Structure 1
C-alpha cells in the first residue's frame, strides 16, 4: 500500500506534483489576467462567475478523469473513453424519458465490464483491448445512426444536470462532479478495493500472492471507468442538447494528461485524487487562457504539449513506491 493510501490527504514530500500543478494554475491565472488587463482593461479570469463557468465546463473532463485514474493506478489504460462516452450519450437521447440517464450510464458500465473481462481474464494488454473496444463502439454507433447525425434530443433532466445553476450561481454539473469525486476518494482511501488497486499497481503478482482477487479488482476498476465515461456522456449531451458523432474524442488525451500531470504514476501504484482534481483545473484554465489570447490552433497544441512534457520531466521519472 502506498503512502498516498495510508496518510489520507495531508500534504507532504510525496505531494510535489500536486503543489507544482497548483502553482502552475496560479501562474496561468496571473498570465491570463495580465493579458486581459493590458488588452481589454478588465480581469475576467478572477471573477467568480468566470471561474464557476470554467468549473462547469471542466466537470465533464473531471468525471472522465476520475474513472481514468482508477485504471491508471492499476498500471493499465482505457482508450475506449471517446466512443464509450459518445455511445452513452447517443443511447440516452435515443431512449429518452425516465430511462435516459440509467441507460446512458448502463452503456458505459457495460463497455467497462467488457474491457475488464478482456484485460483481467483474457489477459489482453489494456491498450490493445480498449482501443479495439473503442473501434467496436464507433462501428455500432455509426450503424445505429446510419452514419448521419442523430436527430434525438436530450431530456429535460439531462439538460438540468448539465446547465442549470442552483440559486442562479452553483452549477449542478459541478455538484455531480463533486459527488463522483467524493465517491472516488472514499474508494481509494477508505475501502479494501482502494487498497487492492494500489497494491496491484505496485506489483500485481505480489498482490495476487497476498490473497487479492486481482482479476475481480481490475474488472471493477474498468467498469467504474466506463460508468464515469457514461455519466460524462449523459451530461455532455445535456449541455449540447443532443448527442453527436465524435463528441468524446476531445476527452481522451486531456483526461490522461490530467491524471498524470496531477502526479499519478502512469505505471500505476501511486497517486492521489487531489492531484487529478488540480490537473483537471490546470488543463481547463490553460485551454481557456489560450482561447482568450486567440492563440492559433498550432500554437495552442505546441504550448499544451510542452506544458505536459515539462511537468512530467519535473517529477514524472521517480521510482514507484512499493508496498
Structure 2
C-alpha cells in the first residue's frame, strides 16, 4: 500500500463532512469579508491552525485508546515557560541551545506521569490528568512567583515560530505537516498503530493476547505531553515570550477538533486526516466568529456576551452535538 492509498483511505464520512463544513464556513466568511479567501489570509489561518494541530496530534492518540488528557492547558504552559526560562535554569551555555528540547522534555515528563497513573495505577484518565494539570499550574506559579515571566524566547525559537524555511510556508505549518505524516504512517503501517486501535476497541482482549497494553498507553501519554509542550514552545516563539495560562484557550478547541474529525471519544476509531480537517474547521470557525461577531445579535435579548465567552459556548455545543452524532456508534477497528 503506497502513501496515496493510505491518504485516500483516511477520507471517511466524518472527514468528508468536516471538509464540506470548511468550504461552507469559507463561503460565509467571504460574504462578510472578501479578504477571507485571499491566499495571504488562508496561509495565516493555516499558520494559526498549526499550533492547535500539533496539540491535537498527541491528544488524538490518547482518545483513540479510550482515554482523555485534560492536562493539556498547563502542559503547553510548562513547555513554553521552561523553554524560555532554560537559560536561567541550566545556565546560558546550556540553556540557550537546549531551550527547545528542555521545554519538550518537561512536557513529556508530565505525559510520563500521566501514563504511569492511568496505565499502571489504573486511575481514571479524566481525574488523574486533571489533577496533573493543577500540579503543573502550581509548579509554574511557584516558578514565576505568581508574576508574569520576564524571560524571552531564543532566536531559534523565534525563527521556528515565525520564519519560513520553505518560501511561503510558515515553519510551524511545516512542522505540523511532518508530524502529521509521521503520525499517519505510525497509525496505518506500524504495530504500535494497530495496537492503539485494538486497545481502544477492547483493551482486555489485547492484553490477554500477550500485548503489554500498559506500555502502549504510557507511550501515547508521553507523546501527548511532548506534543503539547512543543506547541507551547512554538507559541512562546510566536509571542517572543511565555505567559501564564497560555494553554487555557486550547483544551476545548483541541477536543472539539478531534471529535469533529470523526474520532470516537470512546476510542478505537478515528482517522488522522479527519483531525486535520477538524483543526482547520475549528480555526476558521474561530476566525469567522471574530469577523462576523454573531454574539452582537443577542444584545437585543439582553445577552451581552463577550466574544471569548461566546466562542467557549460554541465549542461546548459542538462537542455535545458531535458526541450525540458519533458517540452512539459501535467501536470498530479502523
Could you list the runs of 5+ residues in structure 1 that have no partner in the other structure? 1-6, 37-42
Instruction: Please say if residues 61 and 280 of structure 1, whose CA atoms lie closer than 8 Å, have aligned partners that are also in contact.
Output: yes
* Residues 1:17 and 2:2 are matched in the alignment: no
TM-score by length of 2: 0.89
Q: How does 1:230-241 map to 2 (within 5 A)?
A: 230-241=229-240
Match of 2:29 in 1: 32
Deviation at 1:319, TM superposition (A): 1.1
**Whole-angstrom CA distance in 1 between matches of 2:146 and 2:310:** 33
**Whole-angstrom CA distance in 1 between matches of 2:233 and 2:117:** 25
Deviation at 1:179, TM superposition (A): 1.3
**Whole-angstrom CA distance in 1 between matches of 2:326 and 2:165:** 39
1:211-239, Cα deviation, whole Å (9 max, x unpaired): 21100000000000001011101000001
Larger mean CA deviation between 276-285 and 311-320 belongs to: 311-320
Instruction: Please say if residues 92 and 101 of structure 1, whose CA atoms lie closer than 8 Å, have aligned partners that are also in contact.
Output: yes
Could you list the runs of 5+ residues in structure 2 that have no partner in the other structure? 88-95, 296-306
Match of 1:4 in 2: none
Deviation at 1:311, TM superposition (A): 4.2
TM-score by length of 1: 0.92
Instruction: Please say if residues 77 and 245 of structure 2, whose CA atoms lie closer than 8 Å, have aligned partners that are also in contact.
Output: yes
Q: Secondary structure at the match of 2:226?
A: helix
Larger mean CA deviation between 286-295 and 239-248 belongs to: 286-295
* Residues 1:318 and 2:319 are matched in the alignment: no
Match of 1:117 in 2: 116
**Whole-angstrom CA distance in 2 between matches of 1:83 and 1:8:** 34
Deviation at 1:147, TM superposition (A): 0.4
**Whole-angstrom CA distance in 2 between matches of 1:79 and 1:301:** 16
Larger mean CA deviation between 164-173 and 251-260 belongs to: 164-173
Deviation at 1:293, TM superposition (A): 1.2
Match of 2:137 in 1: 138
Q: Secondary structure at the match of 1:317?
A: coil
Change (3 A) 1:9 1:203: same
Which of 36, 58, 63 matches 1:45?
Answer: 36
Q: Secondary structure at the match of 2:12?
A: helix
Instruction: Please say if residues 256 and 315 of structure 2, whose CA atoms lie closer than 8 Å, have aligned partners that are also in contact.
Output: no
Deviation at 1:266, TM superposition (A): 0.1
**Whole-angstrom CA distance in 1 between matches of 2:42 and 2:212:** 43
Instruction: Please say if residues 160 and 238 of structure 1, whose CA atoms lie closer than 8 Å, have aligned partners that are also in contact.
Output: yes
Instruction: Please say if residues 101 and 234 of structure 1, whose CA atoms lie closer than 8 Å, have aligned partners that are also in contact.
Output: yes
**Whole-angstrom CA distance in 1 between matches of 2:166 and 2:7:** 31
**Whole-angstrom CA distance in 2 between matches of 1:304 and 1:79:** 16
**Whole-angstrom CA distance in 2 between matches of 1:129 and 1:310:** 26
> Alpha carbon RMSD of aligned pairs, Å?
1.7
Match of 1:276 in 2: 275
Deviation at 1:318, TM superposition (A): 1.4
Larger mean CA deviation between 297-306 and 236-245 belongs to: 297-306
Q: How does 1:279-298 map to 2 (within 5 A)?
A: 279-296=278-295, 297=307, 298=309
Larger mean CA deviation between 129-138 and 296-305 belongs to: 296-305
1:84-117, Cα deviation, whole Å (9 max, x unpaired): 1101111110114101001011011111111101
**Whole-angstrom CA distance in 2 between matches of 1:83 and 1:300:** 20
Change (3 A) 1:274 1:210: same
Instruction: Please say if residues 192 and 216 of structure 2, whose CA atoms lie closer than 8 Å, have aligned partners that are also in contact.
Output: yes
**Whole-angstrom CA distance in 1 between matches of 2:42 and 2:27:** 14
* Residues 1:214 and 2:225 are matched in the alignment: no
Q: Secondary structure at the match of 2:85?
A: helix
Instruction: Please say if residues 188 and 194 of structure 2, whose CA atoms lie closer than 8 Å, have aligned partners that are also in contact.
Output: yes
1:37-70, Cα deviation, whole Å (9 max, x unpaired): xxxxxx2111111011011111110000000000
Instruction: Please say if residues 256 and 318 of structure 2, whose CA atoms lie closer than 8 Å, have aligned partners that are also in contact.
Output: no
